[in-house]
Chain A
């Protein structure tokens, strides 16, 4: 494979791999902007992946799978919401607990349904999101550079990839151009201001948490029904945490989140092609090092080597009315 084709292949993988990160990152955005810290993106993605993989296998319909993934994710989001909002519990611990719960339950249920060692069976075509060819892809292909770029990198992805990309401007519009968005952002900075204005802090936060559940549902469903063909144990492999790092990197802004997720996806794509890395760096990089790259980058982001990130002021604190 010549060098340009390798590059395009990596870029193609980048887009594919960034998608679950993007969904999860936008999910975290809504939650954190409303003041609820959510470490549990990982668990929600995982349970959504299992649910969608299982239902898609059982029903043969990828849409049923998507729906099941969303429902599963939302139920975990509900638990986190109840613990964090109604019972004012420690949000970090709640997230950690739910991640463990998801790790265990996904295997238990998958095993019970399919007896395949905790996996769901491989999905066939109708039960997966197939590749979409964008208009004019084949026509443009002969054009040098732009042609293969459009035809192979941009076109040919599963539907959910494009949905994720569309969610970015949608999120921006909701946050900054609607009444709901104004109130949501206010709740994350000073819930007392919202409360005294007569708007329910609790309702806003639950709504945000519900949106998080929906978006994580998309993330998990994408992993099991598009990125791969079914659910496997621990298939999310820390993506939920990486999405969180991307969120901090992006300073809780939608378009920056897109950039951050593409960057992290790029590193994940690199790990799949150690030969290309070796060629560029002229040195053989051990595979575990490439695997660890996204996690190392996360730490660098958090260490503030990419600027100071100020979270929503009321983040992580339960709201108690002042006496």
Chain B
């Protein structure tokens, strides 16, 4: 009956076992459509990790997923399920484009980076603000409102790209290319790393921004008063109110931070890679953030690891699409399975671990139980 696991098992073992289940089911799915899981895995590993070029792509995706994973992590800690990362990232991209296109020339990429970050964060936060407000003031369920805002964001982007921001004479719905000085150095351009990345790769300096963001989120949640309030509120809204923590303020701030983080993903792809805003720039990264946060147990360090895993899956999945007849949608299947096992079936995984490996409750719990009796 007891599902108490030692702390380390909860943090490390549960996600690993969940991942194992997801992997097994994925293999079964591959088999059922007539593909060879082992061969698929080979293609994935080779394509994602087998060359510096592959790493360049894997790390590029990892960067995006760190941002969207952090976004979900922050909101999950307040027990708010921000499913709107996709829309917030898209609107963040709009912010990046508007900021960067505002000047004809940028003096240096660092200046452009700061400006673009502010734009991305602001726009992403703004897109999260309405669902946040509706949840805080009117109790509207944030899951459904953020999902709706994803669809609305797509419509807004289409409208902006087709009717407003498209340069005259251009056929495809996209903005103009960003001006001089707004191009971010890729990992190939970083002195020292160019020995590893001998060709230009999509991974760029945003990767380091993402790592810094993860550190800052950790500090925020576990070292500051605001983070304390966010976590307390997530655990119990009634207790939070008793302690003088304002629910409306907490929900708003949490979602604004969350939206900002999701929006910041756009620096990586819109500014760092495509250097203009195109339709569907995010390609599902916002949703992967959910899987990343769950696998990472809603902790920034776990998010980095999980983001890397999904970066591997993403690049590997793209390679599968190129070299085999496995559709690229396979990676969505894996994404769904990971969320299912880490998020919804975690009790099942825990029960299994307790039954198979940990027969006794940990010493502190037993002592407390004796004390109670």
Residue-wise interface mask of B (153-184) relative to A, using a CB-CB cutoff of 8 A (1 in contact, 0 not)? 00110110011000000000000000000000
Residues of chain B lying within 8 A (CB to CB) of residue A94: 340, 343-345
Given contacts A93-B294, A289-B155, whether A304 and B138 have CB atoms under 8 Å apart is yes
- Whether B333 and A90, one on each chain, are in contact in the complex, defined by CB atoms closer than 8 angstroms, is no
Residue among A103, A291, A295, A302 making CB contact with B141, cutoff 8 Å:
A302
Interface pick from A106-114, A125-133, A160-168: A106-114
Q: Kindly provide the distance from the CB of B200 to the nearest chain A CB, expressed in whole angstroms.
A: 31
Residue of B nearest to A101 (CB): B336
Q: A87-B345, A98-B336, A304-B140 are in contact. Are A108 and B327 (CB under 8 A)?
A: yes
The verdict on B29 contacting chain A, using a C-beta distance below 8 Å, is yes
Please measure, in the bound complex, the distance between the C-alpha atom of A100 and the C-alpha atom of B325, giving whole angstroms: 21
Within 8 Å by CB of A104, from B130, B325, B336, lies B336
A244 sits at the interface (CB 8 A): yes
- Of A84, A103, A104, chain B has the most CB atoms within 10 Å of the CB of A104
**What is the minimal beta-carbon distance from B81 to any residue of chain A, in angstroms?**
6
Q: Which of A79, A87, A108 contacts B33 (CB 8 A)?
A: A108
Contact with B along A61-105 (1 / 0, CB 8 A): 000000000000000000100011001111111101111111111
What residue of chain A has the Cβ atom nearest to residue B328's Cβ? Answer: A107
Q: Residue A118 at the B interface, CB < 8 A?
A: yes
Which residues from A are CB-within-8-Å of B151? 238, 292, 295
Of A99, A103, A118, A302, which one neighbours B134 at CB under 8 angstroms?
Answer: A302
For A, the interface residue count at a CB cutoff of 8 angstroms equals 44
Pair B332/A104 contact, Cβ less than 8 Å: yes
B159 touches A83 (CB 8 A): no
In Å, the complex CA distance between A94 and B290 comes to 12
Please classify the interface of chain A as helix (H, G, I), strand (E, B), loop, or mixed, using the class held by over half of its residues: helix
Write the nearest CB–CB distance from A15 to chain B, whole angstroms: 23
Which residues of A are found within 8 Å of B336, using beta-carbon distances? 97-104
A286 CB within 8 Å of chain B: yes
Q: How far in angstroms is the closest Cβ of chain B from A197?
A: 24
Could you tell me if A100 and B335 are in contact, using CB atoms closer than 8 angstroms? yes
Once the chains bind, are A96 and B345 in contact (CB under 8 Å)?
no
A132 to B294, CA, bound (A): 49
**Binary CB contact string for chain A from 263 to 305 against chain B (1 if under 8 A, 0 otherwise):** 0000000000000000000000010110110011011001110
Residues of A within 8 A of B339 (CB): 93, 96-97, 100
A91→B134 CA distance, assembly (Å): 22
B189 contacts the other chain (CB 8 A): no
A241 interfacial contact with B, CB 8 Å = yes
Closest B residue to A93 by beta carbon equals B343
For A101, give its contact among B148, B333, B347, B351 (CB under 8 Å): B333
Q: Counting CB contacts under 8 A, is A245 at the interface?
A: yes
User: What is the minimal beta-carbon distance from B52 to any residue of chain A, in angstroms?
Assistant: 30
Candidate in A92, A118, A299 with the most chain B CB atoms within 10 angstroms: A299
Neighbouring A residues of B138 by C-beta, 8 Å: 303-304
Given the known inter-chain contacts A90-B343, A94-B344, A105-B29, please indicate yes or no for A100 contacting B34, CB distance below 8 A: no
Q: How far apart are A97's CB and chain B's nearest CB, in angstroms?
A: 4
Report how far A83 CA is from B287 CA in the complex, Å: 21
CB distance from A123 to the nearest CB of B (A): 22
Contact status B344-A303, CB under 8 Å: no
Write out the residue numbers on chain B whose beta carbons fall within 8 Å of the beta carbon of A92: 81, 143
Q: Write the B331-373 contact mask toward A (1 if CB under 8 angstroms, else 0).
A: 1111111011001111110010000000000000000000000
- A290 to chain B: closest residue by CB: B155
In whole angstroms, how far apart are the Cα atoms of A292 and B331 in the complex? 28
B20 within 8 A of partner (CB)? no
Q: Are B340 and A288 in contact (CB under 8 A)?
A: no
CB distance from A53 to the nearest CB of B (A): 16
With A241-B144, A296-B152, A303-B140 as given contacts, are A103 and B332 in contact (CB-CB < 8 Å)? yes
Inter-chain contacts of A289 with B (CB < 8 A): 155, 159
Complex Cα spacing A98 to B336, Å: 6
Determine if B310 is an interface residue (Cβ-Cβ < 8 Å): no
Does A151 lie at the interface of the complex (its beta carbon under 8 Å from any beta carbon of B)?
Answer: no
Q: How far is the CA of A278 from the CA of B2 in the complex (A)?
A: 63
Is B107 close to A, CB under 8 A? no
A92 to B81, CA, bound (A): 9
- CA gap between A260 and B331 in the complex, in Å: 36
Q: For the complex of A and B, list the 5 residue pairs with the smallest distance between their C-beta atoms, beginning with the closest.
A: A100-B336, A101-B336, A104-B332, A104-B333, A93-B343
* A to B CB contacts below 8 Å, 29 in the list: A83-B345, A87-B344, A87-B351, A89-B346, A93-B294, A93-B344, A97-B336, A97-B340, A98-B340, A100-B332, A100-B336, A101-B333, A101-B340, A108-B29, A108-B330, A118-B327, A238-B148, A238-B151, A245-B144, A286-B159, A286-B163, A288-B155, A288-B158, A295-B148, A295-B151, A298-B144, A299-B149, A302-B141, A303-B138
Please give the residue numbers on chain B whose beta carbons come within 8 Å of chain A beta carbons, in ascending order. Answer: 29, 33-34, 81, 83, 130-131, 134, 138-141, 143-145, 147-149, 151-152, 155-156, 158-159, 162-163, 287, 290, 294, 325-327, 329-337, 339-340, 343-348, 351
Q: A93-B294, A93-B339 are in contact. List 18 more A-B contacts (CB 8 A).
A: A83-B344, A83-B348, A89-B343, A90-B343, A91-B344, A94-B343, A100-B333, A100-B336, A103-B336, A238-B151, A241-B144, A288-B158, A292-B155, A299-B130, A299-B145, A299-B152, A302-B140, A302-B141
